[in-house]
Amino acid sequence: MITDEAFRQAVKAAIAEHKKDRNIAFTWEGQTYWIKRRLSNGRNQFAKSSVNVQFYTEIARSSIAHTLTGLSPEIVYLDADCMVTRAAGENINHWMRRRDVSEEEKLEILIRTGQALGELHQAGMTHGRPALRDFLYEDGRVTLLDWENMPRWDNKKKLMTMDYLLLLLSLFREPYSEIDYIKALEKGYTGANGGETRKWARAFLKKHALIGHLAKALDVFHMKDVEAFSRLYRYLAD
């Protein structure tokens, strides 16, 4: 933890300058940091935990993930209203959209992203809502953000299956998604945690085949999330 009073004052100054923002970037002594405040993200809170529960859950789960795997950014400053971590690069969507990044580099980034989730599962943890926007990449290192989601079940197999499906779904939602990219993501995951989760994911989709067939039937309406699920179903279950 950083205990320097000058750092604490820099945090307070950044918050004062961006009073309504939940996530704030600021620079101190040449290093960029991110402040995450104990505020609502503005989305519908129906069926979700309170802002306080989400905030303290994120602190706890992020700290555990950092200790076990190093995949979560280290919390360098903490008080009752915010936590601060060092910046760890741009999210995966940013890298995949850059024209100056080669196809080989993009495939390697996706392999590393899948590997990160596999390493997390291998360590006995799950994320709860992994999406490409939650994975940061910089200099070959992947960092996973947004740990505010409490596990919904005690069944670790089910939790891992949902993590796996949600990460694939987030890639299928993107206009740049290609079969080689999907396979790269899976390659990274299975290399770190084996192929059992993929089998569980296929079984889960087949068990809920009605939803998959409905999504395919609705393809004609070009609804982004429905189309993404339809593509996921065709890829894993058909």
What is the CATH topology of the domain spanning 90-236?
Transferase(Phosphotransferase); domain 1 (1.10.510)
How many angstroms separate the Cα of 6 from the Cα of each of 2, 86, 175, 207?
Answer: 10, 16, 44, 57
Residue boundaries of the structural domains of the chain: 5-86, 90-236
What is the block-wise mean pLDDT of the chain (238 residues), using blocks of 10 residues? 94 96 96 94 59 94 96 95 96 97 98 98 95 96 93 89 97 95 97 94 94 86 91 92
Three-state secondary structure string covering 134-147: HEEEECCEEEECCC
- Global pTM value: 0.92
| Architecture of domain 5-86 in this structure | 2-Layer Sandwich (3.30)
DSSP 12-75: HHHHHHTTT-SEEEEEETTEEEEEEESS--SS--TTS--HHHHHHHHHHHHHHHHHHHS-SPPE
Residue 50 has what pLDDT? 87
